[in-house]
């Protein structure tokens, strides 16, 4: 572990609530390499879609530094809550993970997440909206790729059209 502390590595940093941008800026002011992956997310406000830019990992960002030289400065940087680690010190993030995330970054600077493909008859749970908590089976995906027709089991096989992003696939029972 001592060798790790004497070398520059990537580390996960927890920012104070809703302060990822401020933490990234304050770490950047320390002349550290900072990586705050972001995604575009659609949210409905008063029934109107609105595009938001949010961190890929809410509350977290990455910084590359040598702990022997910069750990205390990072810990006490503005808007930083803590550096992830254990009693032995901070835990480095393998560079392959950072490379993998950076490799998914598009020309516009945002990470694109691949939508989950749903299969006919697959059991899903509705995570948001007026039918939150209900389970059903996928009947059909709509051409727009954003909506799915679901057959609800709890409401006498009622068919509803649900936003795909509101669904989670149920694990298969063994």
Pick the CATH number of 123-169 from 2.30.30.30, 2.115.10.20, 3.40.190.10, 3.40.980.10: 2.30.30.30
Domain ranges in the chain?
Answer: 2-103, 123-169
Q: How confident is the model at residue 157 (pLDDT cuts 50, 70, 90)?
A: confident
Percentage of residues in the chain having pLDDT higher than 70: 92
Q: Which of 77-81, 98-102, 122-126 has the highest mean pLDDT?
A: 77-81
Q: How confident is the model at residue 1 (pLDDT cuts 50, 70, 90)?
A: low
Q: Which helix (H) or strand (E) holds 124?
A: strand 123-126
pLDDT greater than 90 at residue 94: yes
2-103 placed in CATH 3.30.70.940: yes
Pick 22 or 138 by higher pLDDT: 22
**Mean pLDDT across the chain, nearest whole number?**
87
């Amino acid at each position: 572990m001592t060798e790790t502390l004497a070398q520059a590595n990537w580390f996960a940093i927890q920012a104070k609530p809703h302060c990822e941008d401020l933490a990234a800026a304050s770490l950047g002011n320390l002349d550290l390499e900072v990586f705050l992956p972001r995604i575009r997310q659609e949210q409905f406000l008063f029934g109107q879609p609105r595009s938001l830019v949010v961190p890929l990992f809410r509350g977290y960002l990455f910084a590359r530094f040598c702990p022997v030289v910069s750990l205390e400065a990072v810990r006490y940087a503005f808007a930083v809550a803590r550096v992830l680690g254990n009693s032995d010190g901070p835990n480095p993030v393998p560079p392959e993970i950072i490379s993998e995330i950076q490799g998914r970054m598009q020309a516009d600077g945002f990470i694109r997440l691949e939508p989950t493909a749903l299969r006919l008859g697959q059991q899903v749970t509705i995570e948001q909206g007026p039918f939150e908590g209900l389970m059903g089976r996928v009947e059909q995906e709509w051409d727009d790729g954003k909506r799915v027709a679901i057959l609800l089991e709890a409401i006498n096989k009622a068919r509803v059209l649900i936003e795909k992003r509101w669904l989670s696939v149920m694990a298969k029972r063994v």
